[in-house]
Amino acid sequence: MDNIKQIKFLSIDIVARRLDISRETTYRLVKSGQLKAHRFGKSIKIIESDLLEYIEQSTITVCQ
C-alpha cells in the first residue's frame, strides 16, 4: 500500500503543459495507446514514470 503513495499521478492538463501540446492532442495520445493512462471515475491520470517513458520513446536523432 505504501507503494501507491509514492506514485505521482498527473492530470491531462499538467501533461499537456509539460509537453507544450493541447489537451486534445494529449487525449489523442492516450486514446491511441501511445501514452499510458488510468481512469479513476471520470478522471484520467498519467503516472509520471509513464510520461517519462513516452518522452524517452519519442526521442529522435536529427541528421544534418
Q: What is the CATH number of the domain that holds 35?
A: 1.10.1660
Nearest to 16 by CA among 43, 3, 35, 41: 35
64 within some domain? no
33 within some domain? yes
pLDDT tens sequence across 31-53: 999 999 999 999 999 999 999 99
Tally of domains within the chain: 1
53 within some domain? yes
Average pLDDT over residues 11-33: 98
pLDDT of 54 above 70:
yes
Residue 2 confidence (pLDDT):
64
At 15, is the pLDDT very low, low, confident or very high (cuts 50, 70, 90)?
very high
C-beta of residue 47 within 8 angstroms of C-beta of residue 57: no
63 within some domain? no
Across 16-20, 21-25, 31-35, 56-60, least confident range: 56-60
User: Taking the model in full, what pTM does it have?
Assistant: 0.84
Domain around 41:
2-57
C-alpha R_g of the chain:
13
